[in-house]
Amino acid sequence: MRFLVVKSKTIKCVLLVCLCAVLLAINFGTGKAATVFFGYAPRKVPVYSVDTLTKKVAITFDSAWGADKTLKIIETLKEYNVKATFFLVGFWVEEYPDMVKAINDAGLEIGTHSNTHADFVNLSEAEMELELSTSVNLITNITGNEVNLFRAPYGSYNNSVISVAESLNLTTIQWDVDTLDWKGLSATEINTRVASKVTNGSIILCHNNSDNILEALPLMLTTLKNKGYQVTSVGDLIYKDNYYVDNLGIQRQK
């Protein structure tokens, strides 16, 4: 009987600690990435998607190597009257300044994808800051616009990565729908993936120079339109204040 009493008290204590952790994760998610508690260690989480009742999604293009398809992507986006976000690597900006200007002139959003496409988890905080500030300055010098969004190369991040980005007023953005276009999937396969995974508030990952992106993009945009979705940029999709990010990376309004 004594054993049962002790065990009962222990269980109650454990449950109380877990409840406090959950409440902390919810109530203290006041930064651009909420602090979520797993065990004893807090973990920051970027925005993978947005909790919204509106049938609205964001489409994104990571740009690091090659640019010969970029103008056609811009034309297609204009043809379908949709917005998008391009995450540009610094060395790509230096090599293709005219493309950067074309993206900006088309009214499309630009975020940073780092300066050298390094894995940020392997960098010091000083190196992370240099990567971000250098790439942001390269973009701003061409467009004259602020850069507010960051996508980590390889989707690789930890607390330090997000904290450094936040210190530079950058919101770290992931994705919840991966087209896998970089794997050489056909246009039909890419479209099928998007159709099966997209939901309200989704962020769709594409690459500007993947093999079949020019054929896949019209299919995706048509499918999304037929499903009733408005396609827009990340900046138009995410909440700017009064939000938290849950442990699944879903940005929610308080």
| For the chain, domain boundaries | 2-43, 49-237
- 50, 245 in Cβ contact below 8 A? no
Q: What whole-number distance in Å separates Cα of residue 227 and Cα of residue 194? A: 11
Catalytically annotated residue among 62, 113, 176, 181: 62
Query: What class is the 49-237 domain?
Result: alpha beta
Query: What is this structure's pTM?
Result: 0.85
Token representation of residue 132: 């971000």
- 111, 173 in Cβ contact below 8 A? yes
Render pLDDT for 226-247 as a digit per residue (tens, 0 to 9). 999 999 999 999 999 999 999 9
Residue 43 confidence (pLDDT): 85
Token representation of residue 32: 């651009």
Which has the closest alpha carbon to 88: 146, 153, 145, 144?
A: 153
- Please state the φ and ψ torsions of residue 194, each to the nearest 5 degrees: -65, -45
Residue 16 confidence (pLDDT): 52
SS3 content of the chain, % helix, strand, coil (to 5): 45, 20, 35
- 223, 194 in Cβ contact below 8 A? yes
Asked about 246 being catalytic, the answer comes back as: no
Q: What whole-number distance in Å separates Cα of residue 175 and Cα of residue 159? A: 18
Asked about 113 being catalytic, the answer comes back as: no
pLDDT at residue 69 is higher than 90 = yes
- 91, 98 in Cβ contact below 8 A? no
pLDDT at residue 70 is higher than 70 = yes
Render pLDDT for 14-61 as a digit per residue (tens, 0 to 9). 455 454 444 444 444 444 454 444 433 478 999 999 999 999 999 999
Catalytically annotated residue among 68, 207, 211, 241: 207
Render pLDDT for 98-149 as a digit per residue (tens, 0 to 9). 999 999 999 999 999 999 999 999 999 999 999 999 999 999 999 999 999 9
Average pLDDT (192-217) is 98
